[in-house]
Structure 1
Amino acid sequence: MPVRTPRTTARGRTLAAGAALSALVGLTVLAPQGATAAPAAGTGAAATTAAAATAPGETMVYAVNARQANRGQTLKVERAVTAAGGSVVTSWAEIGVVIARSTDPGFAAALRRDAAVESVGATRTAAVAATDPTTGVGDPLAEGESGNGPRTKAAAAQRAADVEATTTAALDPREGEQWDLAAIGADEAHEITDGSRDVLVAVLDSGIEGTHPDLAPNIDAAASAGCLGGVPDTRYAAWQPTTSDHGTHVAGTIAAARNGVGIVGVAPGVRMSSVKVVNDDGFIYPEAAICGFMHAALTGADVTNNSYYVDPWQFWCDDDADQRAVKTAVDRAVQFSRGRGVANVAAAGNSNVDLAHKTTDSSSPNDTTPVTRPIDGGCEDIPAELDGVVTVSSTDRNGAKSSFSNYGEGVIDVAAPGRGILSAVTGGGYGLKSGTSMASPHAAGVLALIKSAHPELSGDALVQRLEQQADDTPCPATAPTGGALCTGTAADNGFFGEGLVDALDAVR
């Protein structure tokens, strides 16, 4: 697979910019993000086509899908990109996806006429700024060069074993403040095991602080990379946080080390890789997410955590050619990772929206000017609603659905604590955050424990075990005035899916 120089994805923020990350992270105010109960009148193609138009000379990024996922067809797509006046950023022959750039407004239309191309779509509605800094200058370092290490899972596991921290029975200083661990039985699970060093969780987020005393022992630098331009950059700086501590907080919940410092993660004995997909403005563009899933799978991840939705659309609709093509490209990456045995987990979102009955979106696109558009089941939050992804809702200390958490019968798979979660933050410290971003890593940590206890399981089998072991949580007896309505059974409903994740059952 040829690798091109990574490109940038940063651009100026609008009032709604960065919603994909802020909608999933704990904020002082957790406000709904535009989905309302207005009557549906179809989906959003008419409203979105104009928004994706570009002026001559403006650089746009595109996901181009080959009709077949093989090297030969992907090479044909690369040639078609060049013939249409574009440039190839990178190619993923394993899934038949090419990331390209062009300044020609007719670029996508020209490619759609090529026999090798199944679909093509702009990955944003705002042009790439000429002043954008390059994310990851030059090609990624070759294996064996400074800053890089072993690529295989076995080699990475051996390297991680060399720095394994000794597990002790004593509590870490702030472990008593972690009500969420007790809620899912993680404190009892730790009396049996903290998890295996053979297990790797890829944290697709804003980066993990590599010097944090609670995280450094469990970070696998050899499997980490920055993906902002759509191409993995394995240098240390490329996967470090810059403007956000979101990824560091998520990582602490998954696997903060048991080392006598600060807190403890759900699976403190496993390894993590930092796969940076969030740019400095808080956006997760499709090319970064695709790169994240592919890099995680190719470096031996067992689990990925995705506490975001892909920008700039909160919901990507099938009746819009650009959105449908991008959704296809991201889904190809997700399904490739499933095929490699990866269990993927995603946050449900913080808009208190019934994902099973969508009606209106007023928050997209968030990189230019949002428009109010009717939406329906053909419009999906990605990656949370893609096939095989574990969608996680949030609960509070009382076990109730968090007021901000999205929900939906047949969409939510499991629930986990997500309000007032203590975890690591940048600067070597600790802080509280709320959001489904905080719930999702609890599920990822439990999956890591399941993999530790049952190494023969992978991918969908891990997910099945997670759901089987979740504690049934029935709908509340009454819905709050003006609040969301929970539907379904005690064993599977719109608020909690198949129940609250159970770390103890994962290891015993």
Structure 2
Amino acid sequence: MPRRPLVLTALAAAALIVGTVAPAAQASTSEPSTPVPITAPDGKIMSYVLNAKTANPGQMRLVERAVVAAGGVVVQSWPEIGVVVAHSVRSAFRADVVVAAGNALVSVGATRSVPVIEGTPAGAQAPWGPGSSGWKADAKKKFNGDIEAPTTPADSADARESEQWDMKMINADKAHAITDGSRNVLVGVLDSGIDPDHPDLVANIDVAASINCSDAGRPDASVDGWYPTTSDHGTHVAGTIAAARNGIGIVGVAPGVRVASVKVVNDDGFIYPEYAVCGFVWAGLKHMDVTNNSYYVDPFEYWCGDQVDQAAAKEAVRRAVEWSTSQGVVHAAAAGNSAVDLANKTVDTGSPDDGTAVARTLNEGCEDIPAELPGVVTVSSVIKAGALSYFSNRGLGKIDVAAPGSGILSTVVKDNGYGSKSGTSMASPHVAGVLALMKSVHPTWSPAQMIDKLREQAMSHACEPAQLNYGPVCVGTDTENSYYGTGIVDALAAVQ
């Protein structure tokens, strides 16, 4: 896939398998990170997030008026978190809106390094109209093929539950003897959409709770807006979480729960901050119980708090995660596929990934979001034998739990079939499914209680050598280390 959804492309996998050993990461630094200025040419539609001082109606109105006064248009307001998404074609917009808003505004930042390709949504139109920039996405950003086995059409397949080694590893098969999960539990799949008529998914999709957030970060409730278009990533993730027990295909970790398609990936494979903000707030508004987040927010693999634009966007996403958590939503997120020690990262050569990447020095305030945000369960990936997947990010104090992520069989769009994919994208939905089972049995538990129990109940896994000697070695103890966190997630313990 592109840089964002955390599944490996065949090309990337081949490069890692035959590549040289990565150098050991150095300690994080408190020195300033490398500046990455984002230019905003006059006449090109650029997207911004604005963070109000407080989330109250008066402050929001002041910020919205400031947007207009500075020559912008309000695309979406989120009064729950004090965030406004705006577009402008004026290069001076950022400076002018700060003056116009006064003390009502904490920060403003561009959300991408390139002009907006989707235009300004209808109903939030600027005088200059949507799509006027004429900028087109680089074709190379289209979704690439994942590491996968040939797909098998549902109508010619027998039940394939016996092939799901991953479910046995996390004791999901034993948990199912107690419960398949409750229909009262709703899991938001923040991803590229879910196949609406896949026979293993159709019964469990909550259409009313599904939404498209990739229309400039504004919730689009059109009938087919949340359908997959250029990727089956979200369909694969959804199958791992909640493929139905129906006698065909596979069985998900929590086959009795409902899933909502919250589309946060655009057709070129990007998940911009305003999309993620929309997804998290929507999850809170719909009182979802769990979300799965198998991506990092574009265009930066790591968002640095000492960079003005990056800090503003990072804060907007943080607010959205925090608010949805306060509404009872618990979040699982993929750790990433760069084989990086998240506790000791110092360089990034691939960001911004929507324009011209620059080599930049990172510091301790540069984070992968949402995986490194407070209150998010960060998941590393393991292989069938239990060792850490060679591609998986790691980090002492950064990884909460581990789950199967290499060669995972699940649902795909093609022929309404099944295919195998690898990535921390595939590990995270196992944890989301376990959280859904846990919520089914313990409906009154808060997100914090669920995370504590998930970590406590994980099956401890001692440090092992890195697969193929790729990436930083494991550090820590048998009970918590940089590869597995507190251990491999345990579905049976979650329902007992």
1:290 and 1:180 mapped to 2: Cα distance?
Answer: 31
Q: 1:360 to 1:397 in 2, by over 3 A?
A: same
TM-score by length of 1: 0.86
1:482 shift after superposition: 5.5
1:398 and 1:342 mapped to 2: Cα distance?
Answer: 32
Match of 1:73 among 59, 69, 83: 59
Instruction: Write the letter of the residue equivalent to 2:285.
Output: L
Kindly report which structure 2 residues correspond to 1:352-501, keeping only aligned pairs within 5 A, or say none.
Answer: 352-427=339-414, 428-476=416-464, 481=469, 483-501=471-489
> Is contact 1:479-1:486 (8 Å) kept?
no
2:32 and 2:405 mapped to 1: Cα distance?
Answer: 31
Match of 2:3 among 8, 19, 33: 19
Match of 1:101 among 58, 71, 87: 87
**Alignment length (residue pairs):** 453
1:41 and 1:406 mapped to 2: Cα distance?
Answer: 19
Instruction: Write the letter of the residue equivalent to 1:507.
Output: V
> Is contact 2:33-2:362 (8 Å) kept?
no
Counterpart secondary structure, 2:180: coil
Match of 2:269 among 274, 282, 306: 282
Instruction: Provide Cα deviations, 1:301-322, integer angstroms capped at 9, x if missing partner.
Output: 0000000000000000011000
Instruction: Provide Cα deviations, 1:360-385, integer angstroms capped at 9, x if missing partner.
Output: 00000001010000102110000000
1:85 corresponding residue in structure 2: 71
1:119 corresponding residue in structure 2: 107
Instruction: Write the letter of the residue equivalent to 1:381.
Output: D
1:233 corresponding residue in structure 2: 220
> Is contact 2:30-2:364 (8 Å) kept?
no
> Is contact 1:394-1:416 (8 Å) kept?
yes
2:292 corresponding residue in structure 1: 305
Instruction: Provide Cα deviations, 1:117-161, integer angstroms capped at 9, x if missing partner.
Output: 1000000001124xx4677x669xxxxxxxxxxxxxxxxxxxxxx
> Is contact 2:25-2:344 (8 Å) kept?
no
> Is contact 1:226-1:277 (8 Å) kept?
yes
1:176 corresponding residue in structure 2: 162
Counterpart secondary structure, 1:309: coil
> Is contact 2:390-2:466 (8 Å) kept?
no
> Is contact 1:277-1:289 (8 Å) kept?
yes
Counterpart secondary structure, 1:274: strand
Instruction: Write the letter of the residue equivalent to 2:7.
Output: V
> Is contact 1:210-1:240 (8 Å) kept?
yes
Instruction: Write the letter of the residue equivalent to 1:27.
Output: T
1:69 shift after superposition: 1.0
1:336 corresponding residue in structure 2: 323
Instruction: Write the letter of the residue equivalent to 2:433.
Output: G
Instruction: Provide Cα deviations, 1:383-436, integer angstroms capped at 9, x if missing partner.
Output: 000000000000000000000000000000000000000000003110000000
Superposition CA RMSD, Å: 2.0
Q: 1:43 to 1:308 in 2, by over 3 A?
A: farther
Instruction: Write the letter of the residue equivalent to 2:288.
Output: A
2:231 corresponding residue in structure 1: 244
More divergent stretch after superposition (479-488 vs 284-293): 479-488
2:127 corresponding residue in structure 1: none
> Is contact 2:387-2:467 (8 Å) kept?
no
1:461 shift after superposition: 1.2
Q: 1:57 to 1:341 in 2, by over 3 A?
A: same
2:491 and 2:341 mapped to 1: Cα distance?
Answer: 27
1:506 and 1:67 mapped to 2: Cα distance?
Answer: 40
2:129 corresponding residue in structure 1: none
2:471 and 2:76 mapped to 1: Cα distance?
Answer: 46
Instruction: Write the letter of the residue equivalent to 1:328.
Output: E
1:57 shift after superposition: 1.1
2:3 and 2:34 mapped to 1: Cα distance?
Answer: 22
2:320 and 2:251 mapped to 1: Cα distance?
Answer: 31
1:216 shift after superposition: 0.4
User: How much identity, in percent, do the aligned residues show?
Assistant: 58
Kindly report which structure 2 residues correspond to 1:129-144, keeping only aligned pairs within 5 A, or say none.
Answer: 129=117, 132=118
Unaligned runs of 5+ in 2: 125-156
Instruction: Write the letter of the residue equivalent to 1:58.
Output: K
2:368 and 2:29 mapped to 1: Cα distance?
Answer: 19
Counterpart secondary structure, 1:236: coil
> Is contact 1:43-1:374 (8 Å) kept?
no
Instruction: Write the letter of the residue equivalent to 1:79.
Output: R
TM-score by length of 2: 0.88
Q: 1:138 to 1:57 in 2, by over 3 A?
A: closer
Instruction: Provide Cα deviations, 1:24-73, integer angstroms capped at 9, x if missing partner.
Output: 1132133579x965767766754302xx0121111100000000111111
1:18 shift after superposition: 3.1
2:471 and 2:352 mapped to 1: Cα distance?
Answer: 27
Q: 1:220 to 1:41 in 2, by over 3 A?
A: closer
Counterpart secondary structure, 1:237: coil
